[in-house]
């Protein structure tokens, strides 16, 4: 499946997710990634799947869901701008469905003209900026060897000048890596150069790729708000129902949704209830199709294929 949901999003409301790339394909392998470590680290853009198939599934799912859709969101199981057909998909989706389109991206390839051109018709673009210097950029995002912070910043500045939609910058704060006064001031300098419409401060709420990753303390988050200016903080859990009409049973729904949007234990239980498949989650855990991971005092269930570091920092 190329699509999933709609799923509840803390920024975009009810979001119909679209993944136009193979799982775990990205230009970064961020320490905090909720999908685990990147297994296919690349910067080459490709037509991974037939674009007509992706569009057809977007249209079909949007027509079959009973959950209202606020945004069609290209997010991917990694980095969506690696999809060479993204510009065509955005334009066709807006034309066929008359729904706003968002793109969640790490922004790493915005220095390329073709990438900026492909995103120009999106209603909202949400790039990531987790650092204000090269050292921290490499420590947090662990980019492809050909990328560097200067390219990231220049790409974001160029895109802001060309793009007339909403640019919402996201800053993921990780305790001990990019949450000090010095690091926050360097991020603020970059934000001032980029001039986004909004800035969101986010923290890890789902199990990260590296088990030592922790969200900053509350006082640190408050300080980050002060330093970054008008930044909005999103540290709460998302609320709302998932679109599951396309799935045959709860097992399929939990695996598909959980592969793109890791589920809290109670969310998975709600899905199995919707299908009257009571006990499915526990059976999947017993059969090791799912693993139970506790993070931030919450229980999450993850597909067993997810890569997680078991060692301490």
Q: How far apart are CA 87 and CA 132, in angstroms?
A: 29
Domains of the chain in start order, with CATH, are 3-263 (3.20.20.70)
What 3-state DSSP class applies to 28? strand
pLDDT of residue 296: 65
Give the pLDDT of residue 312. Answer: 39
Residues 45-63 as b or e (16 or more Cβ within 10 Å = b): beebbebeebbebbbebbe
How does pLDDT run across 184-197, given as a tens digit for each residue?
A: 999 999 999 999 99
Q: What is the tens place of the pLDDT at every residue in 55-76? A: 999 999 998 888 889 999 999 7
CA–CA separation, 168 vs 73, rounded Å? Answer: 14
The answer to whether 104 touches 74, Cβ cutoff 8 Å, is yes
Cβ neighbours of residue 191 closer than 8 Å, sequence gap 6 or more: 129, 169, 199, 228, 229
In order, the DSSP letters of 206-220 are: S--SBTT--PPPHHH
pLDDT tens track, the chain, 313 positions: 899 888 878 788 889 999 999 989 999 999 999 888 999 999 999 999 999 999 999 999 998 888 889 999 999 788 999 999 999 999 999 999 999 999 999 999 999 999 999 999 999 999 999 999 999 999 999 999 999 999 999 999 999 999 999 999 999 999 999 999 999 999 999 999 999 999 999 888 788 889 899 988 888 888 888 899 877 776 555 455 565 666 778 888 877 777 666 677 888 888 888 888 888 888 888 888 887 776 666 777 777 765 544 443 3
Cis peptide before 174 (omega within 30 of 0): no
Check residue 155 and report its DSSP letter. H
DSSP string, 47-92: --S-HHHHHHHHHHHHHH--S--SEEEE-TTS-GGGBTTHHHHHHH
The pairing of beta strand 232-234 with beta strand 198-202: parallel
- Backbone angles phi and psi of 78, in degrees to 5: 170, -120
Six token digits for residue 75 = 């997010």
Residues contacting residue 63 through CB under 8 Å, at least 6 positions apart: none
Q: Are strands 3-9 and 13-18 parallel, antiparallel or unpaired?
A: antiparallel
| Both structure tokens of 82 | 């690696």
Question: What's the rounded Cα separation, in Å, for the pair 224 and 26?
Answer: 28
Q: Helix, strand or coil for residue 46?
A: strand
Residues 6+ apart with CB under 8 A from 55: 89, 92, 93, 96
Q: What is the structure's pLDDT at 197? A: 95
Q: Residue 133 in contact with residue 149, Cβ under 8 Å? A: yes
- Answer yes or no: pTM beyond 0.85: no
CA separation, residue 214 to residues 32, 209, 224, 253, 295 (Å): 9, 11, 16, 29, 9
């Amino acid at each position: 499946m190329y699509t999933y949901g709609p799923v509840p999003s803390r920024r975009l409301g009810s979001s119909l997710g679209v993944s136009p790339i193979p799982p775990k394909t990205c230009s970064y392998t961020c320490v905090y990634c909720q999908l685990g470590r990147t297994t296919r680290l690349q910067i080459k853009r490709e037509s991974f799947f037939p674009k007509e198939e992706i569009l057809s599934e977007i249209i079909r799912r949007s027509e079959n869901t009973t959950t209202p859709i606020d945004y069609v969101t290209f997010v991917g199981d990694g980095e969506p701008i690696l999809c060479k057909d993204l510009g065509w998909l955005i334009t066709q989706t807006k034309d066929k469905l008359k729904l706003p389109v968002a793109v969640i991206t790490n922004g790493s390839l915005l220095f390329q003209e073709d990438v900026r051109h492909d995103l120009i018709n999106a209603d909202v673009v949400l790039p990531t900026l987790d650092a204000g210097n090269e050292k921290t950029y490499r420590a947090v995002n662990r980019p492809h060897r050909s990328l560097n912070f200067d390219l990231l910043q220049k790409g974001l500045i160029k895109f802001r000048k060309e793009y007339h939609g909403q640019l919402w910058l996201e800053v993921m704060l990780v305790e001990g890596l990019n949450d000090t006064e010095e690091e926050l001031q360097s991020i603020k300098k970059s934000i001032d150069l980029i001039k986004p419409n909004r800035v969101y401060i986010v923290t890890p709420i789902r199990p990260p790729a590296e088990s030592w990753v922790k969200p900053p303390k509350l006082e640190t988050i408050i300080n980050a708000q002060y330093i970054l200016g008008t930044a909005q903080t999103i540290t709460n859990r998302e609320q709302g129902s998932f679109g599951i009409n396309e799935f045959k049973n709860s097992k399929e729904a939990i695996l598909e949704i959980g592969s793109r949007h890791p589920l809290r234990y109670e969310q998975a239980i709600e899905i199995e209830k919707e299908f009257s498949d009571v006990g499915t989650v526990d059976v999947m855990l017993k059969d090791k199709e799912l693993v139970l991971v506790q993070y931030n005092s919450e229980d999450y269930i993850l597909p067993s294929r997810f890569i997680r570091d078991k060692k301490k920092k």
